[in-house]
Amino acid sequence: MIKNTDYQDLNTVAEEIINGRKLTDDNLRELLALTEEEYIQKLHHVARKVRDHFFGNRVFLYSFVYFSTYCKNNCAFCYYNRCNNIRRYRLNLEQIRNIARAVKKENVHMVDLTMGEDPYFHNEPERFIEVVRTVKEETGLPIMISPGVMDDRILSRLHRNGADFLALYQETHDRALFRKLRAGQSFDKRNHAREFARNNGYCIEDGILTGVGNDIESTIISLRGMEKGQPDMVRVMTFVPQEGTPFEGMTRGSSLSELKIISVLRLMFPNKLIPASLDLEGIDGMVHRLNAGANVVTSIISSDSSLEGVVNYDRELEKRDRDSKSVIKRLRTMGMEPASQAEFNRIIEKQQVALLRIPVVTL
């Protein structure tokens, strides 16, 4: 659908997608197998057309707050897995409140509260509810939570206390690969938490890793798996080997596969949120991801922050350079603009309106 197509016809492909055309598995195979620069540029071109139709030149910005890096899990890819002998921190409520005040002054549409599966919060979820309530109180902004797997009752309570979005990445929907990545964790429980959240008032984000031994067929399983969950936001991130982890010795792939998958996601989820994460390659990397069809910039951290990212391309850097001011400056050079808060709120509210039509389980 891309290779032997001139730019005129590419615009027709974009039109078809906008009008509801669904990609077949063979389409996905063709797109994911592209290697020549010329074809990949064509794919990005179609993805941008589709994105621009739904979002124009408007981009959403999320602030990232990793408030506890303690974790009881042992994900093979993650720097913060419990076996890694690293320095960790857990912010107290006052520290979190101060960060929330600072975030309020930044130009962002949502705050992402992320933690490892820290027993301090997971065993006493009341403490996490308090964090969410505090950040809501201080910022008044929509809140994304990325806490790992939590049970239904707690998710409901978190939602009532201000959590709007649940980010919970399956990493892969290929069960065999999942067992290698998230050893000892339940595939179904992770999927269920997202499904429950979606049916109970949250917007949800699913995501996959690439460069972790996923071939094209495995990637297709993941893309279809994400499709089934009807997420509001879908992500792909390149796996970056982390010191001290079981996958430390794996080679880091280029971002080519991620960029292709971002475009494919745009064709499969034309009007959904797709992030360009700053966490992998900073602002230069953001530009490539937006050019591949993304429409959200995530992992914004203020320049004076000492908190961690996840992959943290800037772990060794003296000064961070992924604050909202620098992001917006670069967006403008690309002819893009931050969207208004009202535009973002409308997207979040759409999910709530859709929900009024199905019964909500109260726990």
- Which positions touch ligand MD0 (CB under 6 A)? 64, 112, 114, 146, 167, 275, 277, 279, 298-299, 309-310
What's the closest the beta carbon of residue 57 comes to ligand SF4, in angstroms?
A: 33
Does residue 310 belong to the site contacting ligand SAM (CB under 6 A)? Answer: yes
**Gap between the Cα atoms of 351 and 348, Å rounded:** 6
Cα of 339 vs its chain's centroid, Å: 18
What's the closest the beta carbon of residue 112 comes to ligand MD0, in angstroms?
A: 5
The binding track of 52-91 with respect to ligand SAM, each residue x by CB under 6 A or -, is -------------------------xx-------------
Name which of 80 and 269 has its Cβ closer to ligand SAM.
80
Q: Single out the residue of 214, 220, 218, 263 nearest to residue 239, CA to CA.
A: 214
What's the closest the beta carbon of residue 64 comes to ligand MD0, in angstroms?
A: 5
The owner of tokens 């997202």 is 194
Name which of 201 and 253 has its Cβ closer to ligand SAM.
253
Does residue 116 belong to the site contacting ligand SAM (CB under 6 A)? Answer: yes
Per partner kind, with CB cut-offs from 5 to 8 A, the member of ligand SF4, ligand MD0, ligand SAM, none near residue 240 is ligand SAM
Q: CB under 8 Å to 102, separation ≥6 — which residues?
A: 302
Per partner kind, with CB cut-offs from 5 to 8 A, the member of ligand SF4, ligand MD0, ligand SAM, none near residue 242 is ligand SAM
User: Judged by CB under 6 A, how many residues of this single chain contact ligand SF4?
Assistant: 9
Does residue 239 belong to the site contacting ligand SF4 (CB under 6 A)? Answer: no
Interaction site with ligand SAM (CB under 6 A): 77-78, 114, 116-117, 146, 148, 167-169, 171, 207, 209, 237, 239-240, 242, 310-311
Interaction site with ligand SF4 (CB under 6 A): 71, 73, 75, 78, 80-81, 116-117, 148
